[in-house]
């Protein structure tokens, strides 16, 4: 557990250096895969995921907007966008509460990248979708419920 925690911290804190190394060509994308935070993606509950991300106790905030439909007809393809007007956003993670593994995607944003990401996720059933944002070393989050009429997992 300690090791996993350490890796989670490294993934969060070491990115500045990592970006530099990658820019200098010292790290290839193949090695970058080692940064993939396994414990966070394998976590089965929101609490465990937040813990693995080092984001325990993230505070609710109105500075993040989730762009997503209120009702998704097809759970296999749910467009979700996260936008924050805050300056200095370092990371954005998208979590889906009732999926088998809540963490859907996380995005690391080096300085100078606008805090705006959009992607499409799968949702097994109606659930809250959480956006967790790391800004200035602190974690904040917001959530939105998306109703799913046809589940996208299983089959």
Q: How far is the CB of 77 from another protein (least distance, A)?
A: 5
Decide: 63 and 85 in contact? Cβ < 8 Å: yes
Q: Which is nearer to another protein, 95 or 140 (CB)?
A: 95
What is the per-residue burial (b if ≥16 Cβ within 10 Å, else e) of 97-127? bbbeebbbbbbbbeeeeebbbeeebbbbbbb
Contacts of residue 5, defined as CB under 8 A and 6 or more positions apart, other chains included, come to 51, 52, 54
Q: Which is nearer to another protein, 61 or 101 (CB)?
A: 101
Interface with another protein, residue 101, by CB under 8 A: yes
Please identify which residue in 58, 82, 121, 132 interacts with another protein, judged by CB under 8 A.
121
Q: Which residues bind another protein (CB under 8 A)?
A: 15, 18-19, 22-23, 29-30, 32-33, 35-37, 41, 76-79, 81, 96, 99-110, 112-114, 116-123, 152-155
């Amino acid at each position: 557990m300690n090791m996993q925690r350490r890796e989670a911290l490294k993934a969060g804190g070491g990115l500045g250096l990592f970006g530099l190394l990658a820019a200098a060509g010292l790290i290839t994308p193949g090695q970058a895969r080692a940064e993939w935070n396994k414990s966070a993606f394998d976590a089965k509950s929101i609490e465990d995921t937040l813990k693995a991300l080092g984001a325990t106790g993230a505070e609710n905030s109105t500075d993040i907007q989730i762009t997503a439909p209120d009702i998704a007809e097809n759970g296999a393809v749910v467009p979700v966008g996260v936008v924050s007007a805050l300056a200095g956003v370092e990371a954005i993670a998208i979590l889906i509460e009732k999926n088998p593994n809540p963490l859907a995607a996380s995005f690391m944003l080096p300085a100078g990248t606008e805090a705006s990401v959009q992607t499409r996720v799968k949702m097994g059933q109606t659930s809250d979708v959480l956006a967790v944002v790391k800004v200035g070393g602190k974690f904040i989050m917001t959530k939105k419920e998306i109703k799913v009429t046809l589940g996208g997992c299983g089959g």
